[in-house]
Amino acid sequence: MRQRPALDLWRPPFVRQLLKGIGGANPVKKSKSISVALGPALNRTQELTQRLAAEILSGRLEPGARLPTEQELSLSTGVSRTVVREAVAALRADGLVITRQGLGAFVPADVQRRPFRIDPDELKSAKDVMQILELRMGLEIEASGLAAERRTDHDLSQIEAALGAIEQDIDDGGNAVDADFRFHLTIFRSVRNRFFPQLLEFLGNFIIPRQALNVENGGDLDRVRYLRKIQAEHVAIYEAIRSQNTTGARTAARRHLSNALRRYQHISARASGRAAE
């Protein structure tokens, strides 16, 4: 009979059962002629969005300038009007343009006050991953302490369920990224401050950095061992929140993220060493 892992000891009965050419007319200010010729590397909407954003942020499209019409952008870039509409919508969501009914899209006067965002496509290095982890430390240490103080029995059951989902994903051979994100999201929801989960949902599950770095280049045993170390740290956070130990919850969250930093520093150094061979 297979010996049950020591990690099973923490599970409450509920969890045991459980086991993401611009130009054109400008009635306000006339923009300078700029080029947004597109290449083949990116999705067409993403590339047009990035090129237009660069022109806005560089000041070549000044505050108050009107963007060319859909037809003008479509003709000058060779993409469909659907792609143009999607790009303008993405710029609007980032606060880089505003639209006026019947007039078109304009660069806002306060373009620098655009919403904070992290583009997962820009997370290309180990340094980027480390910086995301440092950002998480500032958020999650306090969130864990507040969750311990404010959590309800329902919140606790949701955290238990998220732990069980991680465990199941590990057993099923997955990397548990989505389940890991849900675990942290349940803690943020337990804070009873709507801005905490809203911010985490906005950042998305790419804040779980093992999807940004290849940490599973060993065998299945290495994968399980690695993920169970992380899971044991999750359990420590859960236990502190369950017992409403605010200091213990903050300490456990700090330990979890400090260990994550060390793990990814080690992974990065090891990967650099292999690349140099």
Question: One-letter amino acid identity for 256?
Answer: H
- The C-alpha angle with vertex 152 and arms to 148 and 158, in degrees rounded to 5, equals 90
pLDDT of residue 116: 62
Residues contacting residue 127 through CB under 8 Å, at least 6 positions apart: none
> How many angstroms from the chain centroid is the CA of residue 179?
14
Phi and psi angles of residue 34, each rounded to the nearest 5 degrees, phi first: -135, 165
Q: What is the mean pLDDT of the chain?
A: 79
Between 119 and 2, residue with greater pLDDT: 119
pTM of the model: 0.60
239, pLDDT greater than 90: yes
Please tell me the predicted confidence (pLDDT) of residue 38. Answer: 47
Report the candidate in 194, 204, 181 with the shortest Cα–Cα distance to residue 146.
194
pLDDT band at 276 (very low <50, low <70, confident <90, very high): low
Higher pLDDT, 249 or 111: 249
DSSP helix/strand/coil, 6: helix
136 token code pair = 């998480």
CA–CA distance, 233 with 70 (Å, rounded to integer):
51
- Cβ contacts of residue 21 below 8 Å, gap of 6+? 33, 34, 35, 76
Task: Give me the pLDDT at residue 123, please.
Answer: 62
Give the sign of the dihedral formed by CA 45, CA 51, CA 54, CA 58: negative
Q: Which of 117-121, 181-185, 265-269 has the highest mean pLDDT?
A: 181-185
Give the three-class secondary structure for 98: strand
Mean pLDDT score, 117-121: 63
Across the range 65-89, mean pLDDT stands at: 91
Where helices occur in 59-124 by DSSP H, the ranges are: 70-77, 81-93
Overall average pLDDT of the 138-151 stretch: 96
How many angstroms separate the Cα of 258 from the Cα of each of 91, 119, 133, 251? 36, 24, 8, 10
The answer to whether the CB of 118 falls within 8 A of the CB of 162 is no
Element (H, E) at 105: strand 104-106
Strand, helix or coil for residue 130? helix
Report phi then psi at 104, rounded to 5. 120, -160
Return the closest-CA partner of residue 67 out of 27, 15, 40, 39.
Answer: 27
Domains within the chain, CATH numbers bracketed = 44-113 (1.10.10.10), 119-276 (1.20.120.530)
Rounded Cα distance, 39 and 77, in Å: 10
Confidence of residue 27 (pLDDT cuts 50, 70, 90): very low
